[in-house]
């Protein structure tokens, strides 16, 4: 899948465009990393606020000096030259208050991309030029007061709207601020404080109780519980002991840890998350492109409708002032503000929310298409199951006990990295057994291991070895579908057997049940044997399974489903699943830590929790719903208000002034912003 990383220039170039572009200098420390763009954005918000207050102060005398307002209020305030004072005050409002809109209009014209600013700039210029002409001799009624209130409300609208956009981006800044700025570098006997961004691979750092982890790494010394909730959405603290991975930005509990750095600051998991979130916010999806197209059309319609309104009223014999006012109102009301923001606000909100819940969206379109999924294909190991062998039961022969069998088997297996070996040694550790030393260690190819322990010859072997050597199976031997069994022989005598299984995650059953409730089929795809696959599939009540599938065949299975008309999501841990992840309509890579899994996936789940996949689909649906609600509102509002602004109901006494038009436009934008901010991840 391609990553559509075009920059997002929707209808407000001077406002949101540069929010993104400056973010990509990732080689700064955490503060600077965000810094410039964030500060620019807040400086702009402050600028709009200042312009709003200046215009507000000037609008009061403009209103008092306007003949129309005096006529309505039945009072008189007129002195020689009053219209010139009105002209000067209005000129200041036009130039100072209207400056952002006029410069925006100019840059849109230069980019040959007329939009929001073109409409506002055109409307206020027409109003100003016409009103100025009336002061210097043109017959007609000025509308300086409408110009002033129009600019005032536009500034307020922009200010409110920029604050809501900043709110969505701020969640991203919070992610960056998770990185502590300093770290304690262990240098022989000394500990010195250094800046986090100077840390290199293989540095040793000390994390004191309650501090944030400064870099991704492996625990070299110590034992503590870490809170990783902001990174993974997982609320329970996670125990970390020697050799385990830690993620930068997680918060240490009450133990102290020494960490061997595996990634420098800018390669850390957290920065990758931030960059992913950022590029996802910038990437355009189909819905976004639709909104952009609609906004462009609306700009053209606005200009044409405005000019048509002017022509119609003039030809009906109305005066120039009335026709001008109608034209300006139509153009203002038409501003595709709400439309330009309908999707970007939801995008900004959804990507940062997702990141906080351990869902990393690399491809926006894949995320929005999550609502179409009809089948999910799960890789078994590590997704639905824990991905590691655990001892499920120990059966001891005559005169033996369970601890003794594990102790002797553990002595042999402690040298091996094999999943079965690690399962047995983990069980010995759990039972707090001290493992004796083994000598004369030999591997029996494909069949097991043997060694001398405490002067006895101990063997840990597979059922295949018993068959080949005609060794009698124990009388009490039985095997469950998803178990792997090894036998322990002491001096060639059967001592008992150990059954191990890759246990199903407790969350898997709930996840599959929720998928069924939402009408989505779940299928298991595994390289394991049929017996194991069937056992897991039945236990979780899945819709089917494919067993003994080799990596290159996974792709074929996905293709087969697609040819049957299914919209397929594939989840896998990335390495052997890459081709299948790429083939699937939506590839979801699972796997925590810094190795943000397979490039081929459109979405990455930080935790390997199957419940997150369900969360992702439901959140994708909710996000899409919000976008459509916003688009419907933004277009519906224009369909209703444009005819009113043009004066269709003039005979019924309904007429909108430019200021009312501006209020309606601002309200429409605020409705869209509030609706976007109500988006939530169901947990």
Q: Which residue among 379, 502, 528, 585 is the active-site one?
A: 379
Dihedral sign computed on CA atoms, order 482, 615, 236, 225: positive
Backbone φ and ψ for 272, nearest 5 degrees, come out as -65, -40
Q: Is 612 a catalytic residue?
A: no
Tell me how crowded residue 223 is: count the other CB atoms within 10 A of its CB: 14
CA distance 141 to 321: 6
User: What is the β-pairing status of strands 586-590 and 603-605?
Assistant: parallel
- Residue identified by tokens 């002034």 is 657
8 Å CB contact between 105 and 120? yes
Q: What are phi and psi of 362, to 5 degrees?
A: -95, -25
- What span, in angstroms and rounded, lies between the C-alpha atoms of 253 and 566? 46
Q: What are the φ and ψ backbone dihedral angles of 359, each rounded to 5 degrees? A: -115, 115
* Apex 179 CA angle, 181 and 682, nearest 5: 160
Element (H, E) at 14: none
Instruction: Give φ, ψ of 220 to 5 degrees.
Output: -100, -30
H helices within 383-462, ranges in order? 402-413, 419-430
Q: Which strands form 385-396's sheet, in the order they lie side by side?
A: 385-396, 493-504, 483-490, 456-461, 448-453, 438-444
Measured on CA atoms in the order 18, 24, 30, 36, is the torsion positive or negative?
negative
Output the CA torsion sign for 596, 598, 604, 610.
negative
Beta bridge partner(s), residue 590 = 605
Q: Report CA-CA distances (Å) from 288 to 270, 302, 345.
A: 27, 21, 10
182-187 sheet: strands from edge to edge: 190-195, 182-187, 204-207, 257-261, 217-222, 245-246
Cβ proximity of 590 and 580 under 8 Å:
no
Tell me the residue length of the chain: 683
Q: Is 187 helix (H, G, I), strand (E, B) or coil?
A: strand
Task: Report the distance separating Cα 390 and Cα 370, nearest Å.
Answer: 34
Q: Are 294 and 336 in contact (CB under 8 A)?
A: yes
* CB 37, CB 20: distance < 8 Å: yes
Residue 118 CA: distances (Å) to CA of 94, 126, 298, 336, 446: 15, 12, 12, 11, 75
Task: Looking at 254-382, list the stretches that DSSP marks H as alpha helix, in order from N- to C-terminal side.
Answer: 269-282, 286-315, 320-334, 337-356, 364-368
DSSP H helices in 137-233: 144-177, 229-232
The span from the CA of 404 to the CA of 394, in Å, is 11
Name the phi and psi angles at 525, rounded to 5.
-130, 120
Contact call for residues 242 and 206 (beta carbons, < 8 A): no
The answer to whether 376 and 520 have CB atoms below 8 angstroms apart is: yes
Active-site amino acid positions: 379
């Amino acid at each position: 899948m391609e990553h559509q990383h075009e920059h997002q220039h929707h209808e407000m170039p001077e406002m949101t465009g540069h929010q993104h572009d400056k973010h990509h200098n990732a080689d700064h420390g955490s503060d600077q990393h965000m810094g410039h763009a964030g500060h620019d954005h807040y400086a702009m918000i402050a600028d709009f606020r200042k312009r709003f207050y200046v215009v507000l102060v000037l609008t009061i005398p403009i209103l008092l000096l306007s003949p129309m307002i005096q006529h309505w209020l039945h009072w008189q305030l007129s002195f020689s030259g009053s219209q010139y004072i009105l002209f000067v005050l209005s000129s200041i409002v036009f130039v100072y208050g209207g400056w952002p809109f006029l410069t925006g209009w100019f840059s849109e014209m230069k980019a040959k991309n007329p939009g929001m600013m073109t409409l506002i700039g055109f409307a206020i210029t027409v109003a100003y030029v016409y009103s100025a002409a009336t002061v210097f001799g043109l017959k007609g009624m000025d509308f300086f007061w409408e110009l002033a209130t129009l600019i005032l409300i536009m500034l307020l609208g922009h200010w409110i709207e920029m604050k809501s956009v900043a709110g969505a981006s701020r969640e991203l800044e919070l992610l960056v601020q998770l990185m502590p700025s300093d770290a304690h570098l262990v240098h022989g006997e000394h500990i010195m404080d250094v800046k986090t961004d100077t840390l290199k691979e293989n540095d040793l750092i000390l994390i004191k109780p309650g501090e944030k982890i400064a870099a991704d790494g492996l625990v070299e010394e110590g034992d503590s519980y870490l809170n990783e909730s902001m990174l993974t959405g997982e609320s329970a603290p996670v125990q970390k002991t020697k050799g385990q991975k830690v993620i930068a930005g997680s918060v240490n509990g009450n133990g102290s840890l020494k960490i061997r750095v595996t990634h420098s600051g800018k390669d850390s998991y957290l920065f990758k998350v931030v960059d992913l979130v950022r590029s996802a916010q910038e990437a355009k999806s189909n819905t976004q492109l639709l909104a952009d197209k609609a906004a462009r059309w609306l700009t053209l319609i606005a200009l044409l409708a405005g000019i048509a309104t002017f022509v119609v009223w003039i030809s009906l014999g109305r005066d120039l002032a009335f026709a001008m006012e109608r034209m300006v109102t139509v153009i203002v009301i038409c501003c595709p503000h709400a439309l330009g923001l309908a999707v970007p606000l939801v995008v900004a909100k959804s990507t940062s929310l997702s990141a906080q819940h351990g869902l990393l969206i690399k491809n926006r379109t894949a995320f929005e298409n999550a609502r179409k999924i009809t089948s999910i294909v799960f890789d078994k190991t590590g997704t639905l199951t824990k991905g590691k062998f655990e001892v499920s039961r120990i059966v001891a022969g005559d005169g033996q006990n369970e601890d003794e069998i594990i102790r002797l088997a553990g002595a042999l297996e402690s040298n091996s990295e094999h999943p079965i070996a690690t399962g047995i040694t983990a069980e010995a550790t759990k039972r707090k057994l001290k493992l004796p030393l083994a000598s004369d260690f030999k591997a029996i190819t494909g069949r097991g291991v043997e060694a001398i322990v405490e002067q006895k010859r101990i063997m840990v072997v597979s059922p295949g070895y018993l068959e080949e050597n005609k060794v009698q199976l124990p009388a009490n031997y039985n095997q469950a579908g998803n178990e792997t069994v090894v036998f322990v022989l002491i001096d060639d005598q059967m001592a008992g057997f150990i059954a191990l299984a890759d246990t199903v995650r407790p969350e898997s059953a709930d996840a599959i049940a929720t998928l069924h409730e939402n009408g989505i089929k779940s299928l298991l795809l595994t390289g394991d044997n049929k017996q194991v696959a069937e056992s897991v599939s039945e236990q979780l009540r899945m819709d089917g399974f494919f067993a003994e599938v080799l990596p290159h065949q996974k792709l074929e299975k996905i293709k087969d489903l697609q040819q049957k008309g299914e919209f397929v999501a594939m989840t896998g841990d990335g390495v052997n699943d890459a081709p299948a992840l790429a083939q699937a309509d939506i590839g979801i890579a699972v796997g925590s830590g810094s190795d943000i899994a397979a490039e081929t996936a459109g979405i990455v789940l930080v935790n390997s929790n199957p419940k997150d996949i369900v969360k992702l689909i439901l959140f994708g649906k909710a996000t899409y719903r919000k976008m459509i609600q916003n688009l419907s509102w933004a277009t519906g509002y224009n369909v209703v208000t444009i005819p009113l602004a043009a004066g269709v109901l003039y005979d019924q006494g309904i007429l909108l002034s430019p200021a009312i038009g501006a209020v309606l436009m601002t309200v429409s934008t605020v409705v869209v912003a509030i609706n976007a901010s109500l988006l939530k991840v169901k947990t």
